[in-house]
Structure 1
């Protein structure tokens, strides 16, 4: 009954033996190799989607760039609704606070870099948070010019009061995707981010 399957496995083992440069007859390595081969096969057989302007020569890179910009704008609109009536002036305000909660105290430079902002824009956000009493700064002993930023009790309280609405906004951005699709998207976006972080020295 399983003769055909066994024959396919034997054929796969023969191909693996040809590809295996290290000469390691290891089951785990073989399974990993077979899995990658299957992924490549699925990628090659995947149906290419249609997009506006494709027949006129619009490139996939153009579509990706446009979609990322549009999604950022949709996310920003949802985030603005989530912070309406709060002490947050912009979505960047609560994003900076979330970074401080997740990473602990950070220097101004590190906090701005983490959010991929230009220094001037990042400083405006930090100064606004300081003015509202949501964060405080402290001079470091090693570098008097670069100060550590801490979230205050007020900052934590204001953030916590809005977190349910912020989480709902985040969920709405990826609303139609299944769990598996979200995991695939995270993997692809992480690959893109990692590339640009290295390229830009972040």
Structure 2
């Protein structure tokens, strides 16, 4: 039996652990770590192939725009497409956006989060997050209770009506997810997941920090990596 492939997989697994150790990505994905690893592996192999085939010279897209510019543009477009599709799926419900649904899903999988924890997990500014939470409470989908250790803090959980609402709209949201993935193959989806996960792990600490660093300082730090 030839063990070259096994050795290669071990090397990739070690590289994956090294790259995700400082972000906590692998630890957070305990229940789905194989999916994250496969996504990372697909992207790593594809990147190595692109590197082997790439011609020397500056990287430029077909349109002439810099890749960094196109990433920001296309991610924004994709967010807007996803938001529009989600709004259709939430017709005839008290939920007004994908953010409402995301907050409820977060509380389903991890109940009794504080307001700050829920807002940070969903990558929102405090004012925006508080507005979403107030809306969910007003609609009877989420309720709050006093924190047992910190009386100034409130913990949140879904009401029975909130759980029923999730069960009602879940099939629609699954269909929406299929539409967002569009015509991409499963392999392409895994590659995209791997890339987006890497960007998430890069941006999340910046978002959660005290934000005292300027854009120029953040770029300099990125260039050091």
Query: Do the two structures share a fold, i.e. TM-score over 0.5?
Result: yes
The total of aligned residue pairs comes to 174
**Distance in 2, Cα, partners of 1:141 & 1:180:** 46
Larger radius of gyration: 1
Residues 59-98 of structure 1, C-alpha deviation per residue, up to 9 Å, x if partnerless?
A: 1000000000000000000000000111212221111101
**Structure 1 pair 44–92 and aligned structure 2 pair: CA distance change class (3 A):** same
Q: Which residue of 1 aligns with 2:216?
A: none
**TM-score of the superposed pair, with normalisation by structure 2:** 0.69
User: Whose relative contact order is higher, 1 or 2, with alpha carbons under 8 Å and at least 6 apart?
Assistant: 2
Aligned pair 1:139/2:133, yes or no? Answer: no
Cross-structure match for 2:72: 65
In structure 2, distance between residues paired with 1:46 and 1:132: 55
Structure-1 separation of matches of 2:6 and 2:48: 20
Instruction: State the match for 1:44 in structure 2.
Output: 51
Secondary structure at the residue paired with 2:143? strand
Q: What stretches of structure 2 of length at least 5 have no aligned partner?
A: 16-43, 210-225
TM-score by length of 1: 0.77
User: Is the 1:109–1:146 contact (alpha carbons within 8 Å) kept by the matching residues of 2?
Assistant: no
Match status 1:126 vs 2:141: no
Residue aligning to 2:88: 81
**2:169 counterpart of 1:169:** no
Secondary structure (helix, strand or coil) at the match of 1:86 reads coil
Instruction: Verify the 8 A CA contact 1:112 1:118 in the aligned structure 2.
Output: yes
Deviant stretches of 4+, over 3 Å: 27-36, 38-41, 45-51
Per-residue deviation at 1:105? 2.2
Which residue in the other structure is 1:108 paired with?
115
Question: Partner of 1:190 in structure 2?
Answer: 197
Aligned match of 2:187: 180
- Structure 1 gap segments, 5+ residues each: 1-5, 7-12, 14-26
What is the CA–CA distance in structure 1 between the aligned matches of 2:12 and 2:207, rounded to whole Å?
Answer: 35
- Alpha-carbon distance between aligned partners in 2 of 1:168 and 1:155, rounded to the nearest angstrom: 20
Cα distance in 2 between the residues matched to 1:181 and 1:111: 31
